[in-house]
Structures are given as structure tokens and as C-alpha cells.
């Protein structure tokens, strides 16, 4: 994670931002929108998203070995666009992400297993208008590890809402990606200052 410019960091530190979060069990993992369309630079991908997908595979393996709850998200719109909204007005191409579209399917290397939740959403946040929060609460999750894409969009929106719901978000820095590195780095800095613990996978494993 970028530390930000020295003067920026000093302002945040002086004003009391950036306190650490304790990683309190039970843990869960949320994987945001690692679908074929966001893995494809010709559609919605690019940047460091392929690297983030690759880094998420061993993280997912560890979480599954420990039997922690896992939730995945997909962006899914109606075939006829009946649920088009402001998000799709800003990014009209999202309307091609329908239930059976290849672009909307989760990448095969992170394919959900039995017992893992798949959240269908048509807004950035994994929590808005979905069953994710009660599903995590039912399983006792206190600290939510977060991977996915894009860092500046659906990941950030989901992190903010996770914090609002009372979960302790941990953004796994090398397991989130964006089509552009500037927004990726700025969002990691911002989330670390206000909403979440931000750790790379190696540091997370040491903390766990």
C-alpha cells in the first residue's frame, strides 16, 4: 500500500486518522466482483486486476482450510434492462452483465464452492439491498477480509458499508485491483485512514 505523500500523511496523523483495528475473530472473506468481465482488459479490466486475482487464490485456500465463511459478489442486471439504474447510466456497458453472460460469471480459479454465498448486485456496494450483512451476522463474523475489484469502486463502497454495519474490514492490499493504479493507490490510502485495516497478504497471515 502506498503511504501517500509525507505532508498528506502528516495532516491525517495530526488530526487523529489512521488508527489500527484489532483483528477479532470470527473471520469471514468477501470477494468482490472477480468476474470474467473485470478480468478482461477489453471489457472492464486492466491495471493490476490479474495480479490481484492470482494473489487471492492462496488467500481463499487458507480461508477454506479454516472453514471461515466466504461470500462472492457478481454484478447482475435483468436481461431486458428493467432494473437499469444510475450506476448503469454512468457505465452503460454494465447492462451486459446479465445472469447467464460469460462476463458476469466468477472467474474459474475462484469459483464458489458449496456453502459459499453468491451475492447478485447492481450497485457498487455488496451490502446495499442484499442479504450479505445478515448472512455474515448469522455466522458470527466480526472481522471481514476483503478482496476483489475495483479498489476505487465496488471494493471501496463495500468496505464503507461493512464498517457501517459494524464489521471490521480488512482490505487485503495485494488481493484488490483496479484498472488504473492512481485510483487504486489513493483508495487504499483513504480506506486505511478512515474505514479499514489495510494489509498485504503476507502481513495478514502474520497477524492471523
Write phi, then psi, for 62 (nearest 5 degrees).
Answer: -65, -45
User: Which residues, 6+ apart, have CB-to-CB distance to 59 below 8 Å?
Assistant: 29, 145, 147, 172, 175, 201, 204
Q: Indicate which residue of 149, 154, 164, 175 is catalytic.
A: 154
Active site residue 154: yes
Cβ neighbours, 10 Å, residue 164? 12
Three-state secondary-structure class, residue 119: strand
Nearest to 167 by CA among 208, 128, 136, 121: 136
Catalytic residues: 154
Amino acid at each position: 500500500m502506498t503511504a501517500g505523500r509525507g505532508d498528506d500523511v502528516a495532516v491525517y496523523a495530526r488530526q487523529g486518522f489512521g488508527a489500527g483495528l484489532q483483528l477479532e475473530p470470527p473471520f469471514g472473506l468477501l470477494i468482490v466482483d472477480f468476474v470474467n468481465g473485470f478480468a478482461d482488459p477489453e471489457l472492464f479490466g486492466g491495471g493490476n486486476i490479474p495480479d490481484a486475482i492470482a494473489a487471492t487464490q492462496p488467500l481463499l485456500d487458507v480461508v477454506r482450510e479454516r472453514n471461515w465463511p466466504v461470500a462472492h459478489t457478481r454484478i447482475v442486471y435483468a436481461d431486458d434492462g428493467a432494473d437499469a439504474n444510475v450506476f448503469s447510466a454512468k457505465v452503460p456497458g454494465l447492462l451486459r452483465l446479465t445472469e447467464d453472460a460469460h462476463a458476469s460469471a466468477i472467474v474459474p480459479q475462484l469459483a464458489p464452492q458449496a456453502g459459499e454465498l453468491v451475492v447478485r448486485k447492481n450497485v457498487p456496494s455488496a451490502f446495499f439491498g442484499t442479504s450479505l450483512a445478515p448472512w455474515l451476522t448469522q455466522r458470527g463474523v466480526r472481522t471481514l477480509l476483503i478482496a476483489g475489484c475495483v479498489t476505487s469502486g465496488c471494493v471501496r463502497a463495500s468496505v464503507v458499508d461493512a464498517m457501517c454495519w459494524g464489521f471490521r474490514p480488512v482490505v487485503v492490499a495485494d488481493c484488490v485491483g483496479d484498472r488504473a493504479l492512481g485510483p487504486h493507490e489513493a483508495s487504499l490510502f483513504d480506506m486505511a485512514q478512515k474505514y479499514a485495516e489495510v494489509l498485504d497478504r503476507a502481513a495478514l497471515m502474520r497477524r492471523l
